């Protein structure tokens, strides 16, 4: 049954052609039986437009109405073919604007009134019979056809609206997925940059030192080699966390083998939070690892001092990682751009609602040659922005370079963390 219905839907012209033929048969048969030859062109005038009703609803309706009016004027009596006008009124209401279809309805009602006037004139019928006939035979069917068509139009508009909304939702979802992917890529790029820039540059410095001390001071050379292997191992561990995040994004069902470390790399990042805990294959650095970082930096030849002001607050994982990375990259920059004699000073200040960082050096500052791609400072700003914070970086008035950051700690989170 539904197959037949589908087939009919796919061939609307054929369906309308058959409909027109059936109606025309009714009109022509009446004409032949009553020997009213004028009924033949009148029948064709109202039924042929049915074939084109869907493609040209207004044109088809207008043609049939013209034929019907000619029929009334010529005094040709109504026939079953006139049902075509009702079908065309329905189509007009279903496929065109309401204004057009109301106009069509009015024309139909006027036409039927004229026809009824003529009938009453010709035959003597009582007024009540006439009114009954008028409403049953003419006005009623016209109204019904119009109401059916109009509700059809309403339903179609409703479904079109639903479809449009579904399409829009799908587009929105795609766009959001793309934004989340871009944010995730940026985040991974930041992590990679900071891990690689810091650890590899420490290893290079240590390797240079080891090469230098090899002949003269084997003990120092051994120390440097130990520092290189420790740094390399740390870099590997951090990279593994990053790869763990990537892998668990590819395959959400995979379970992480090791318990969560002190800082989930995933915290706060769009589209990744579902991997929290699962991706933590190794501890992710936070403020707790700051001492190790400073030791490592000192071992790589940069003098660093550190001071903490205020009551240390437990930080949310993401904020702690951001703070660690900002300090790490600032120190890497001092080693890289500040010149061989530069010293750095790290200051952490806990206020009631934020962690404020300042990494200051007395290096070359604005005089440093700028050859970097600038991913480090950009990454710091992005990291801070992710947690509603800010970063300012630039050369200082009287020499050196300073990076300051403010990372808000929501009071609720600060107490809950």
Ligand X SMILES: Nc1ncnc2c1ncn2[C@@H]1O[C@H](COP(=O)(O)OP(=O)(O)O)[C@@H](O)[C@H]1O
DSSP string over 84-136: HHHHHHHHHHHHS-HHHHHHHHHHHHHHHHHHHHHHHHHS---HHHHHHHIII
Nearest residue to Mg ion, scored by beta-carbon proximity = 376
Closest CB 304 distance from ligand X, rounded Å = 12
User: Which stretches of 237-389 are assigned E, i.e. beta strand?
Assistant: 303-309, 343-350, 354-361
Part in contact with ligand X (CB under 6 A); list of ranges 147-155, 239-247, 332-340, 347-355: 332-340
Helix-helix angle 140-213:375-386, to 10 degrees: 130
β partners of residue 404 = 358, 392
Total residues at the site for ligand X (CB under 6 A)? 18
Instruction: Tell me the window of 103-111, 260-268, 276-284, 362-370 that interacts with ligand X (CB under 6 A).
Output: 362-370
Contact flags string 385-404 toward ligand X, x per CB under 6 A? ----------------x---
344 within 8 A of 359, measured Cβ to Cβ: yes
d(CA 377, CA 390): 12
Of the two residues 357 and 368, which places its CB atom closer to ligand X in the complex? Answer: 368
Give whichever of 240 and 392 is closer to ligand X, judged by the CB atom.
392
**Strands ordered across the beta sheet of 354-361:** 303-309, 343-350, 354-361, 401-408, 390-395
Residue with token string 């090791």: 258
> CB under 6 A: which stretch of 94-102, 224-232, 286-294, 336-344 binds ligand X?
336-344
Which one among 82, 191, 194, 361 touches ligand X, defined by CB under 6 A?
361
For position 123 contacting ligand X by CB under 6 A, the verdict is: no
- To ligand X, the closest distance from the beta carbon of 192 in angstroms equals 13
From CA 66, how far away is CA 78, in angstroms rounded?
14
257 or 374: CB nearest ligand X: 374
HEC string of 154-223 equals HHHHHHHHHHHHHHHHHHHHHHHHHHHHHHHHHHHHHHHHHHHHHHHHHHHHHHHHHHHHCCCCHHHHHH
Indicate which of ligand X, Mg ion, none lies near residue 374 (CB less than 5 to 8 Å, by partner kind). ligand X
Could you say which of Mg ion, ligand X, none residue 2 binds, taking C-beta under 5 to 8 angstroms by partner kind?
A: none
Q: Which residues bind Mg ion (CB under 5 A)?
A: 333, 376
Shortest separation between residue 211's beta carbon and Mg ion, angstroms: 25
Among 59, 75, 288, 372, binds ligand X (CB under 6 A): 372
Closest to 31 measured CA to CA, from 81, 88, 87, 84: 81
In whole angstroms, how close is the CB of 313 to ligand X at the nearest point? 28
Which residues bind to ligand X, rule: CB under 6 A?
333-334, 336-338, 361, 363-365, 368, 370, 372-377, 401
């Amino acid at each position: 049954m539904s197959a037949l219905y589908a087939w009919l839907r796919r061939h609307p012209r054929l369906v309308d052609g058959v409909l027109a033929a059936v109606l025309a048969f009714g009109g022509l048969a009446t004409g032949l039986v009553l020997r009213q030859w004028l009924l033949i062109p009148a029948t064709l005038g109202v039924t042929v437009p049915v074939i084109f009703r869907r493609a040209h609803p207004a044109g088809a309706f207008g043609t049939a109405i013209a034929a019907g009016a000619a029929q009334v004027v010529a005094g040709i009596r109504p026939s079953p073919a006139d049902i075509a006008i009702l079908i065309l009124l329905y189509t007009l209401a279903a496929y065109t604007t309401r204004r057009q279809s109301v106009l069509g309805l009015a024309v139909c009602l006027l036409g039927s009134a004229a026809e009824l006037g003529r009938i009453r004139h010709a035959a003597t019928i009582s007024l009540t019979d006439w009114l009954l006939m008028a409403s049953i035979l003419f006005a009623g069917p016209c109204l019904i056809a119009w109401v059916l068509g109009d509700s059809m139009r309403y339903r179609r508009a409703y479904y079109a609206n639903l479809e449009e909304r579904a399409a829009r939702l799908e587009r929105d979802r795609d766009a959001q997925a793309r934004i989340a992917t871009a944010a995730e890529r940026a985040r991974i790029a930041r992590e990679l940059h900071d891990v690689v820039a810091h650890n590899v540059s420490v290893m290079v410095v240590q390797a240079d030192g080891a090469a230098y001390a090899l002949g003269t001071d084997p003990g120092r050379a051994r120390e440097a080699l130990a520092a290189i292997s420790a740094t390399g191992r740390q870099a590997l561990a951090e990279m593994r966390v990053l790869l763990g995040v990537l892998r668990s994004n590819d395959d959400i069902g995979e379970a992480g083998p090791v318990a969560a470390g002190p800082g989930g790399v995933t915290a706060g990042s769009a589209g990744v939070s579902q991997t929290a805990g699962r991706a933590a294959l190794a501890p992710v650095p936070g403020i707790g690892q700051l001492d190790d970082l400073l030791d490592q930096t000192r071992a790589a030849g940069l003098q660093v001092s550190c001071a903490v002001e205020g009551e240390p607050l437990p930080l949310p994982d993401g904020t702690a990682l951001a703070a660690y990375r900002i300090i790490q990259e600032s120190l890497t920059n001092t080693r890289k751009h500040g010149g061989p004699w530069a010293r750095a000073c790290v200051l952490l200040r806990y206020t009631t609602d934020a962690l404020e960082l300042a990494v200051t050096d007395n290096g070359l500052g604005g005089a440093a040659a700028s050859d970097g791609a600038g991913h480090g400072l950009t990454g710091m700003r992005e990291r801070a922005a992710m947690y509603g914070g800010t970063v300012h970086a630039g050369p200082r008035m009287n020499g050196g370079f300073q990076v300051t950051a403010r990372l808000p700690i929501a009071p609720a989170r600060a107490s809950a963390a």
